Structure 1
Amino acid sequence: MSQFVSLGDSEFKHPSWLTAFGTLAGYGIILFVLFVALFVLPYVVFAA
C-alpha cells in the first residue's frame, strides 16, 4: 500500500536531470572559486 513510486537510476538519465545536475555542479564550482578568491587568498596573503 505504498504511495511512493520506486524510481530507478534510469529515471535520472533523462537530459533534463543531467542538465540540472550539471548546472548545480557548475554553480558549486564557481561559488567555491569565488570563496577562495575573496576570502581564503586574502587571508593567506595578509597573514603572511
Structure 2
Amino acid sequence: MAVDLSEFNHPSWITAVGTGIGYLLILAVLTVALFIVPWLVFATL
C-alpha cells in the first residue's frame, strides 16, 4: 500500500511541529533553571 505524504505539506503541520518543539524547549529551559541550577548551587555548599 502506497502512502501519499503530500497531505502533510500544508503549513499547519509546520506550525504544529514548531509549536511542539518550542514547547519542549521551554520545558527544558525551565527544568534546568528551576531544578538543575539550584541543585548545583546547593551541592557546592
TM-score, length of structure 1 as denominator length: 0.78
Q: Relative to total residues, which structure has the larger helix share, 1 or 2? A: 2
> How do residues 1-48 of structure 1 correspond to structure 2 at under 5 angstroms?
6-8=3-5, 10-48=6-44
CA RMSD of aligned residues (A): 1.6
Gap regions ≥5 residues in structure 1: none
TM-score of the superposition, structure 2-length normalised? 0.82
* Structure 2: unaligned runs, 5 residues or longer: none
Amino-acid identity (%): 57
Moved over 4 A (4+): none
